[in-house]
Amino acid sequence: MTDSQQILIKGARVIDPADGTDEVGDVLVRDGVIAAKGRAVSAPDGALVVNGTGQVLAPGFIDLHAHLREPGREDRETVATGAAAAARGGFTTVCCMPNTEPAIDSAMMVEFIAAKAREAGPVRMLAIGAVTRGRAGKELAEMEEMASAGAVAFSDDGSPVATGHLMQMALTYASELGLPVIDHCEDHSITRGLGVHEGWVASRLGLEGYPSAGEESTMARDIALAELTGGHFHAAHVSTAGGVELVRQAKARGIRVTAEATPHHLTMSEEWVLGVHGAVAPANALELSAYDTMAKVSPPLRTPADRAALIDALRDGTIDCIATDHAPHTFADKTVPFDEAMVGISVLETALGSLMGLVHAGSLSLPTLVHRLTVAPAMVFGGALAALGSLAVGAPADIVLFDPDEEWAVDPAAFASKGRNTPLAGDRLKGRVTLTVAQGIIAFDAAGLTRGTSA
C-alpha cells in the first residue's frame, strides 16, 4: 500500500453514475479528495501519473453486506484480510455483518471494528449492529448506542429477525435513528437450514430442498411491518422471482423497502451444485463434481428463471444494488458431506469478473453495473455513506480502475482473503481490477501502474 497525496489517472473511460459522466477523461486525486475531473487535466509537480487508456475509471465499489468473521473466527477471515480482498476487488467501502463471536451488538463492539479498520488500511470498514442481543432473537440490542458509535444499519444476518414483534420494534427504533434494518429473509420452519433449492437438482441429488416460499414468506412479513411502522426495511440477498415481485409491489405502494442481489445469484443457478458450472446437466449419471459444497449458499442458488428475474429487476431498479454477501470459510468447513457443509462463498475478489459476464453478454449495460455498485448502495444506506459513490470534485477519493476485457483464471490460492471457498476455481473471467484508491491512498496496484510515473 502506497500513501500518495497526488495521483493523476489519464485517458480512462470515466463512468460516474452520480452525475451521468461517461467519457474519456482524467481524474486528479489530492489530499484525499477528488481535486479535478475532466479532459486534459494537468499533472501537478510530483504527482503520480497513471495511464488509464483502455480502462474504466469509476467510484470505488461499496459493499453493503460482507462477513469478516472477526472477532471469534479469525481462522476464516479478519478485518485486515477482508480489507485486502476488498481492495483487490475494487471495493473501497465494506459494511461488516454482525454475526461474529461475540456478535457486534454493542457500542464497544462497533468501536472494536472501527479500530481494526484503522489498523487495516484505507479501505473503509463499517459495522452493522445486531438487531438483538447476541443475535439470540430474544430482546433488542442497544441500537441508539451502536448508532452513536458509528453503526450504519442493523441486522441479525445470517439469521432472520426472530419474530414479527422484534422486527416491528427494530423498524420503529431504527427509523428514529435514520438507519435501515436489513433482514435475512428465511423461515427456518420451512427451510431447516438447507443449502439447495427445492427443485430438480435437489431431487436428482436426493437432498431436501429450500423452497422459494421459505424466503418470500418472511419478506412479506417484513414489508407489511415496514408499511406499519414507516421504517426502512432492506431485503438482503433477494434470490427469487417471487421476492422481486414483492419488492416491486411494495415500492409501488410507497413503502420504504430497498433490496440487494449478490453476484452469485445474478450469475449462477441451481445446476452449479451439480458441479457443471451452468452447463447442460448430465442426462444420466452424475459427474464426480456433483454435491459441490462450494456452491452451497443461503439462500440457495435458484432456477435460471429466478436469475433472469433478478437481472431484469437490477436493470429496472427494483433491486437497488449489488452486495457480495462475502462469506469466507476454511477448507474444513467445506470438505464434508453436502448436508454438513457451511453455507457461503468468498466473493470480494471475483465479484467484478463474474458481473462483467452480464455486461459482455448484453444483459446489463456497464454504466448500470457501475451505478449498482457505487452510488446506489450509498443512497440505500445514506448517513455515513451519503457522500460516497461519486467522483465529484471535493468527494472522498475512492476510485477503482479496471480493465473490462482482461481475461484471468480464478486461483483461490492467490486470494488475499483467507476464504478460498469459491465454485469459480479454475474458471476464466473477463474484467479485472488494476488499481484501487481508497481515501486518496493506493490500496491495490495490480501491475505496478504507479511505479516510476511521477510527473
3-class SS letters over 313-324 = HHHHCCCCEECC
Task: Judge whether residue 1 has pLDDT over 70.
Answer: no
Distances (CA, A) of 41 to 82, 93, 197, 409, 437: 34, 27, 52, 35, 18
* Number of CB atoms found within 10 A of residue 357's CB: 17
Distance separating alpha carbons of residues 417 and 69, to the nearest angstrom: 11
Task: Judge whether residue 144 has pLDDT over 70.
Answer: yes
Identify the pLDDT of residue 276: 82
**Which phi and psi angles does 150 have, rounded to 5°?**
120, 5
pLDDT band at 3 (very low <50, low <70, confident <90, very high): low
Torsion on CA atoms 239, 240, 244, 246, rounded to nearest 10: -120
Distance separating alpha carbons of residues 391 and 37, to the nearest angstrom: 8
Contact 264, 65 (CB under 8 A): no
* Catalytic annotation, pick one of 183, 325, 333, 403: 325
Strand segments (E) across 133-229: 154-155, 181-183
In this structure, of 13-22, 62-71, 276-285, 348-357, the range with the lowest mean pLDDT score is: 276-285
In this structure, is the dihedral angle defined by the CA atoms of residues 204, 264, 98 and 317, taken in order, positive or negative?
Answer: negative
Identify the pLDDT of residue 449: 66
Q: Which of 260, 299, 273 is nearest to 378 (CA)?
A: 260
Task: Judge whether residue 35 has pLDDT over 70.
Answer: yes
Task: Judge whether residue 455 has pLDDT over 60.
Answer: no
* Mean pLDDT of the region 155-167: 96
Distance separating alpha carbons of residues 218 and 195, to the nearest angstrom: 17
Q: What percent of the chain has pLDDT over 70?
A: 96
Neighbour-count burial for 229-249, b at 16+ CB within 10 Å, e otherwise: bebbbbbbbbbbbbbbebbbe
Identify the pLDDT of residue 448: 77
Distance separating alpha carbons of residues 411 and 403, to the nearest angstrom: 18
pLDDT band at 2 (very low <50, low <70, confident <90, very high): very low
Query: Mean of the per-residue pLDDT values for the chain?
Result: 95
Q: Which of 210, 202, 255 is nearest to 229 (CA)?
A: 255
- Residues whose CB falls within 8 Å of the CB of residue 362, separated by 6 or more in sequence, listed in order: none
Q: Which residue has the cell 452480464?
A: 358
pLDDT tens string 374-410: 999 999 999 999 999 999 999 999 999 999 999 999 9
Strand, coil or helix: what is 11? strand
Distance separating alpha carbons of residues 15 and 25, to the nearest angstrom: 10
CA 192, chain centre distance (Å): 25
- Please tell me the pTM assigned to this model: 0.96
> Hey, what domains does the chain have and what are their CATH numbers?
60-388+407-426 (3.20.20.140)
Q: Interior CA angle at 213 toward 210 and 218, to 5°?
A: 110
pLDDT tens string 249-305: 999 999 999 999 999 999 999 999 998 886 655 556 677 789 999 999 999 999 999
Identify the pLDDT of residue 192: 81
Q: How many residues does the chain have?
A: 455
Strand, coil or helix: what is 37? strand
pLDDT band at 25 (very low <50, low <70, confident <90, very high): very high
* Mean pLDDT of the region 163-180: 98
* Mean pLDDT of the region 74-80: 98
* Mean pLDDT of the region 127-142: 97
Cell of 258: 430497498
**Which phi and psi angles does 26 have, rounded to 5°?**
-125, 155
pLDDT tens string 185-215: 999 999 987 899 999 999 999 999 999 999 9
Active site annotation includes 320 = no
pLDDT tens string 400-425: 999 999 999 999 999 999 999 999 99
Torsion on CA atoms 374, 182, 73, 301, rounded to nearest 10: -80
Distance separating alpha carbons of residues 420 and 77, to the nearest angstrom: 10
Q: Classify residue 326 as left (phi > 0), alpha (psi -120 to 50) or beta.
A: beta
- 3-state percent helix, strand, coil for the chain, nearest multiple of 5: 35, 25, 45
**Higher per-residue confidence, 453 vs 32:** 32
Q: Interior CA angle at 129 toward 124 and 135, to 5°?
A: 140
